[in-house]
Amino acid sequence: LPEEYHGSCWVADRTIEYIRSRKTRKKPFLLWTGFIHPHPPLALPPSWSHLYDGKVPLPVETKTPVSQIAEENKYNAFFPNISVLQRWRELYACAVSFMDWNVGRILKALEEENLKENTLVIFVSDHGEMLGDNGTYQKMLPYDGSAKIPFIVRWPKKIEKGTVRKEFVDLNDILPTFIQLGEGKYDYGQDLPGESLFSKNPTKDRSFQYIEHQHGSKRWCALICEKYKYVHYYGDRDELYDRIND
């Protein structure tokens, strides 16, 4: 299909239409733009499907045993040979770049409508993709390919371009951030696990990160600090990784 009929373009087009159609520049807005790609099936316009031919490294092979959940994960996909797997990895990278290009179109629209300086943009993902590393695929694993996601924040009015923060941040922080900046209230009885990125009196300990997934024998919890990642499996042996030297 031509580029303009692809899902990533469609999502960007609808977003840009909304940005340009607002009748007033004084009314605050909240806009959620959800791209499906780079999710399978990795169907791309021909003009974007060969950006990384021969440029993607081979899958990483583990030198130590992986968890039982990771062993079961290996059956989530089947590729008859390494060439087909590599082509899939190339197309995944192409899909990321195509989405990135469409995100750029949205940011350009914000600038053209004079909304750039006073609009907070948060770019995140719900999970990663193992892409055949360690012989595994999709998500659901505590390894970085699955669990470590981008969290990019742009707000020219408040954040200097190119700023990099080493503290841990996660999806739980998005809602408290929006509530604070929207001057809203949260009174539903349970404490929110996250904290606003712009809290004036921060209390969340961002020196470590907690992750959890699934339930029963499939459940695991992970604690991560700057140096280590510790994973506790409820149906398997635990794992400890040196994030700096390993």
Angle at 73 between CA 170 and CA 224, to 5 degrees: 30
- Span 85-141, pLDDT tens digits: 999 999 999 999 999 999 999 999 999 999 999 999 999 999 999 999 999 999 999
Residue type at position 237: R
Distance between CA atoms of 9 and 55, rounded to whole angstroms? 25
Q: Quick check: 74 and 137 in contact, CB under 8 A?
A: yes
Q: Is the Cβ–Cβ distance between 234 and 217 less than 8 Å? A: yes
Among 24-28, 70-74, 81-85, name the one with the lowest average pLDDT: 24-28
The pLDDT-based confidence of 25 (bands split at 50, 70, 90) is low
Q: Residues 131-167: pLDDT tens digits?
A: 999 999 999 999 999 999 999 999 998 999 999 999 9
Residue 41 vs residue 22, higher pLDDT: 41
Average pLDDT over residues 218-235: 96
Query: Residue 23's pLDDT is what?
Result: 60
Q: How far is CA 147 from CA 44, 47, 213, 215, in A?
A: 25, 30, 10, 17
- Structure-block tokens of residue 203: 């209390």
Taking only the tens place, the pLDDT of each residue in 34-75 is 999 999 899 999 999 999 999 999 999 999 999 999 999 999
pLDDT at residue number 55: 98
**What percent of the chain stands above pLDDT 70?**
98
pLDDT of residue 217: 87
Contact 51, 97 (CB under 8 A): yes
**Residue range 161-187, pLDDT digits in tens:** 999 999 999 999 999 999 999 999 998
Residue 24: is its pLDDT beyond 70? no
Residue 159: its pLDDT value, please? 94
CA 109 – CA 184 distance, rounded (Å): 27
Place of tokens 């506790």: 232
Confidence of residue 1 (pLDDT cuts 50, 70, 90): confident
